[in-house]
Structure 1
Amino acid sequence: MEWIHHIETYFRRMYSNDEILAALAEEHGIVLSRRTLERTMQMKGLWRRKDKTDVAQVSAFIEAQLQNSGQCHGYRWMHQKCWMNGMVTDRETVRTLMRLLDGEGVQLRTRRRLRRRIYHSRGPNYVWHIDGYDKLKPFGIAISGCIDGFSRRVIWLHAYKTNNDPDVIAGYFMDVVLSTEGCPERVRLDMGTENVRLAEMQNFLHWSEGQVANTDHVTFGPSTGNQRIERWWLTLRNQCAQFWMDIFDKLRCDGHFADTFLDKSLVQFCFLSIIQEELDTVAATWNEHRIRRVHASRSPHGRPSIMHLLPELYGARDCRHRPALDKIEACVEECVFKDFPCDEDVFHVCVDVMSEHNLSFTN
């Protein structure tokens, strides 16, 4: 039955029984008793403290992760990924294995305390913080991200050949608005021309006939003030981006990258889809991990996905605005969406060369 599949999915995300019951009711309209849930989990062999995955299998998974950007992960993040990949293990086992397999990396990831400004949001979809990440831009890879201010859930995380086209950035925004049939109460943007179209569409979606045009639903400001997304970029760098920065820096040092249009196009052709897959994994892992309580913070703690889905558990409400469908469709028609990973002419030449060598391109 479909609801059993949902239970297994939420179990692999490390949801507690209460969180599983709440997610089933809110997201799928499935109301179960605790006893039914426990009986179903017992029948499917979904145990948290017994029938654990063999340590050798967990070790092999962690070792494979350490061969790529997984070498940036701490043991809590790696533990979450183990569960999301079907391995039932405890955090202490993962911590011990990582010390054995990557002792040097553990030392390099020693935590440092940061003094943070106090942040407060009324609820999910009250403010979306949107920004571009340019650390890979010198190599032709532009990343755009959006995070919900209340729940810290990643709304989108896209890698593409440009972050400068305002119609592309608006496309990321409208893709989410279309799929969820709603937009945030306001968006927080940097003062760049790439955000102009998104800002126009946000205000248009909130505008009603007879109303005086206003800009209360868009907040512009410097990057230093966009604290939610700016802080999250540090997580992205630690868990993924630093690995690719090192790879591309080595290409440049070895003389294989000359900062030309063609070299950037080749990097985009070869690596863009791989990086996007990793970004999807980072976003999914972040959204399902548990944010710990922070002293003197007004922000809630828990899983970003649960805080976004069930704000009433945290004394908040969903602030999503639901505009008319015709307004959404009108905005979508003005957007540009991702197509070729690199310049179209370079793409076709690369595909032809691969075909001559009996290779195929998969995006």
Structure 2
Amino acid sequence: MDFTALIKLYFSIGISYSEILCCLAINHRIVISMRTLKRRLTELRLYRRKYPSNILNVALFVAGQISESGCQNGYRWMHRKCLLAGFLTSRSVVAALLSLLDPQGCELRRRKRLRRRNYYAKGPNFIWHLVSYDKLKQYGLCINGCKDGFSRKIIWCKVTCSTSNPRINVGHYIDAIEQFCACPKAVRGDRGTENTHVAEMHNFLTNTVFHI
């Protein structure tokens, strides 16, 4: 993937400019300045605040999310979903739409009384959940685990020297696929740099566009 395509990809998933620079440096060994990044984004006509999307289309998208799996999402996560869907809008607009479309949900979130959702997985190996535990990192023990969402089977539970190295996590992922001769349809984990290689490998193996 060339430099321009990488910038478009990271811009489309809604991460900040500083996070784009970190991803380029860590994942692709491309080191550029903030000024260079902004200049390239301008050349590609990629803007965060300029030319916002039609508010009616954003409202329809938010309403659809509220009626489905996004009923518990706050305005920050809903704003990120809008960016991932290709809408250019601000957090304040999303917050205002949520207060109009789902006032009861906003009140419950304000009082920290969330409605419990029902977890559902279609079958074995439909979705794997990744998790990293770094509370013992000061003792040199970094735990990385994965389990199947349907059967609750532990796919792996490894102790390594780091929970932030994406190469370690993708190594566990590849070893598990070879061991079970199966690849999950979806992978769920934290939106951190430690899972970027897993997302890229999953896209390659399943021929889909997927982001953790």
**Structure exhibiting the larger radius of gyration computed from Cα positions:** 1
Cα drift, residue 177 of structure 1: 8.6
The answer on whether the counterparts of 2:148 and 2:154 sit within 8 Å (CA) in structure 1 is: no
- 1:31 is paired with a residue whose SS is coil
CA distance in 2, matches of 1:15, 1:97: 22
Q: Work out which of the residue numbers 167, 177, 181 in structure 1 matches 2:171.
A: 181
* CA distance in structure 2 between the partners assigned to 1:156 and 1:16 by the alignment: 28
CA distance in 2, matches of 1:156, 1:46: 36
Q: In the alignment, does 2:49 pair up with 1:61?
A: no
Distance in 2 separating the partners of 1:157 and 1:84 = 26
State the distance in 2 between where 1:177 and 1:3 align: 21
Deviation of the 1:68 alpha carbon:
0.8
1:87 counterpart = 2:96: no
Aligned partner of 1:333 in structure 2 is none
Paired residue for 1:17? 17
Relative to structure 1, the CA distance from residue 57 to residue 66 in structure 2 (aligned partners, 3 Å threshold; closer, same or farther) is same
Q: 1:33 to 1:140 in 2, by over 3 A?
A: closer
Alpha-carbon shift at residue 95 of structure 1 (Å)? 0.6
Counterparts of 1:112 and 1:179, CA distance in 2? 33
Residue 157 to residue 177, structure 1, CA distance change in 2 (3 Å) = farther
1:147 is the counterpart of 2:131: yes
Q: What's the CA shift string for 1:36-79, capped at 9, x where partnerless? A: 31121002222122111111111111111122111121111101
Q: Which of 150, 154, 159 is the equivalent residue of 2:149?
A: 159
Secondary structure of the 1:96 match is helix
Q: What residue number does 1:106 align with?
A: 106
- Counterparts in 2 of 1:26-41, with a 5 A limit? 26-41=26-41
**2:32 pairs with 1:51:** no
- Look up the match of 1:78: 78
TM-score w.r.t. the length of structure 2 is 0.62
Aligned residue for 2:47, secondary structure, equals coil
**Shift in alpha-carbon separation, 1:156–1:51, aligned structure 2, 3 A:** farther
Change in CA separation of 1:95 and 1:24 when aligned onto 2, cut-off 3 Å: same
Hey, what's the Cα distance between the residues in 1 that align with 2:101 and 2:133? 36
Mapped partners of 2:14, 2:147: distance in 1 = 23
Mean CA deviation greater in 23-32 or 104-113 = 104-113
Superposed CA RMSD: 3.9
Q: Does the 8 A contact of 2:52 with 2:89 survive in 1?
A: yes
Q: CA deviation at 1:149?
A: 2.4
TM-score, with length taken from structure 1: 0.39
1:181 partner letter: G
Distance 1:55 1:34 in 2: 30
Identify which of structures 1 and 2 has the higher relative contact order when contacts are C-alpha pairs closer than 8 Å and 6+ apart.
1
Q: Where does structure 1 lack aligned partners over 5 or more consecutive residues?
A: 114-134, 184-197, 199-272, 288-304, 310-363
Q: Measure how far apart 1:88 and its partner are.
A: 1.4
Aligned CA distance change for structure 1 residues 101 and 40 (closer, same or farther; 3 Å): same
Question: Percentage identity across aligned positions?
Answer: 30
| Residue of structure 1 in register with 2:180 after alignment | none
- 1:169 Cα shift? 2.3
